[in-house]
Amino acid sequence: MSMQQPGITQFTGLRVWVIGATSGIGEACAKTLITAGARVALSGRRFERLETLCALGQVNQCLSLPLDVTKAEQIDLAYQAIVRAWHGLDLLLFVSGIYIPLRADNFALAAAEQTVQANVLGPMRAVAAVLPDMLEQHAGHIAIVGSVAGYSGLPKALAYGPSKAAMINFCEALFYDLQPRGLSVHMISPGFVETPATAQNDFVMPALISPETAAQEILAGIQQGKFDIHFPKRFSRFLKFLRLLPYPIYFWILRHFVKI
């Protein structure tokens, strides 16, 4: 089966909704898109950060749409505001996510529920909001930031890992349905990126990259119409290889080389 799906020739004038634009990877993507001349709707909970970002654009280039991804009605209202302003949307870029380190000895159900609400149901709510119009217009891009942590079980990720694994499966299933309908799905799997989310890590993060480099990888991948956008390759390819190994070898490598 062909994996071909539409890319994006240029971002100028494109109608993009970045959810999770107030920090880290999402903020870097939003800044790049604003500089490239896209019309950018910016979402996250921190209103003042959205306003600061908005001020970087020309008059009417950006929309500041504060919302909490755990609240479906807030996502729906924000999408309605986009449609009122721009009569549609070309690219949903869902970046928002939370990481609460959890191991067996501190596994807390409340933290797991919070993670699933934000990282699994959050993107599903946003996709549910935009899909009907995109299907009707036979065009549009849905890009979701997951993680290489979704490839296979890793330490300190008892809720985060499963939430990102769910997004891989969700993107695969979406691709199957949407590619024949002319829509593009972009499954984004970053390795370690230097952001407030990873600042809490107390171990050396291999192949750490900047949010700006992550944004370049993401936006270039979307422009090229790629489904599987993973980076940095030296790290993501290694993890893709690990998940193919038989479990005894997989866990042996984890125990010997991952000292966290």
Encoded one letter per residue, x for contact with ligand NAP by CB under 6 A and - for no contact, window 89-128 reads ------xxxxx------------------x----------
> With respect to ligand NAP, which residue has the nearer C-beta, 78 or 179?
78
Q: Which stretch binds ligand NAP (CB under 6 A): 52-60, 65-73, 132-140, 174-182?
A: 65-73
Q: Which is nearer to ligand NAP, 98 or 139 (CB)?
A: 98
Does 216 sit near ligand NAP (CB under 6 A)? no
Window of 5-13, 40-48, 232-240, 251-259 that interacts with ligand NAP by CB under 6 A:
40-48
Query: Is residue 57 a contact residue for ligand NAP (CB under 6 A)?
Result: no
45 binding ligand NAP? (CB under 6 A): yes
- Asked if 195 touches ligand NAP (CB under 6 A), the answer is yes
Shortest Å distance, C-beta 19 to ligand NAP: 7
Contact status: 145 vs ligand NAP (CB under 6 A)? yes
How many Å apart are CA 157 and CA 163, to the nearest integer? 9
Question: Shortest gap between Cβ of 50 and ligand NAP (angstroms)?
Answer: 8
Residues found near ligand NAP in the complex (CB under 6 A): 20-26, 44-46, 68-70, 95-99, 118, 145, 147, 190, 192-193, 195-198
